[in-house]
Structure 1
Amino acid sequence: MKSMRRLPDAELEVMQALWRCTPPASRMDVAAALTPDRPMAATTLLTVLTRLGEKGFLRTDKEGRRSLYTPLVSQADYLAAQSRTFLQKVCGGSLPAFAAALCDSGLTREELDQLRDLLERDAL
């Protein structure tokens, strides 16, 4: 898997909002999909969308005077790349160390059962 740069928090929030929208999405669509407790000024949102485009995370298409945004990176691909980077940097590439940290992180029995189910399903 190709390495993917980690997004700063504000950019990640905007990408998460864009992933919740039906593409292509307008700035207003993205603004509406942002979490209500963390609103973003329109000019700030436009700046972040521009940065994400420059970084190759989204495509901007003009439709008249408005811009429409389409993600070029899926949420699943971003999560997979960041998980691999985390595993390499923090756990030295050791999956057992990562799993042990997860188990010691205060996960509930239900979350551990879900994790076990995911691992068993993907092993088939």
Structure 2
Amino acid sequence: MRRLGQLEAEIMDRFWRWNRPATVREVVDDIQLHRDVAYTTVTTVTTILFHKGHLTRTRDGRIWMYKAAATREAYAAALMEDGLEASEDRQGVLVRFVENLDDEEIAALRTALRSAGKRDKP
């Protein structure tokens, strides 16, 4: 999975934070609180995000309502998986990754590993 570009990330951030369907107009209005952006540019990038599978959309009359297809965490996990696949030594990559975690993150990882182990047992 390719990393999101700057405007793609700004758009997706809104959908992930809002966790609800929204229009391009809502996204444009929110981005414009911080910087100028053209409605047509956001429309184009939102359509691209839809075609890439990052957004879903439904019609509400004449307007498209967009929503994130997956969570921010699922997107980040897919990027991490791509990072693992970039090396011939997946275990080595995991070791290096864990070495950079703080105590709280290591505790969360231990909890996740215990949970994953319980799912594997009949």
TM-score band, normalised by shorter chain: 0.7 to 0.9
List per-residue Cα deviations over 1:38-85 (Å, max 9, x = no partner).
553221111110101111221222222322102222222111110111
Q: CA RMSD in A?
A: 2.5
Unaligned runs of 5+ residues in structure 1 are 104-111
Unaligned runs of 5+ residues in structure 2 are 115-122
Name the TM-score, length of structure 2 as normaliser: 0.73
Name the TM-score, length of structure 1 as normaliser: 0.72
In the alignment, structure 1 residue 98 sits paired with structure 2 residue 97: yes
User: Partner letter of residue 88 of structure 1?
Assistant: E
Q: In the alignment, which of 104, 108, 112 is matched to residue 114 of structure 1? A: 104
Equivalent-residue separation in structure 2 for 1:30 and 1:70 (angstroms): 11
Aligned residues: 112
Moved over 6 A (4+): none
Change (3 A) 1:117 1:70: same
Change (3 A) 1:9 1:120: same
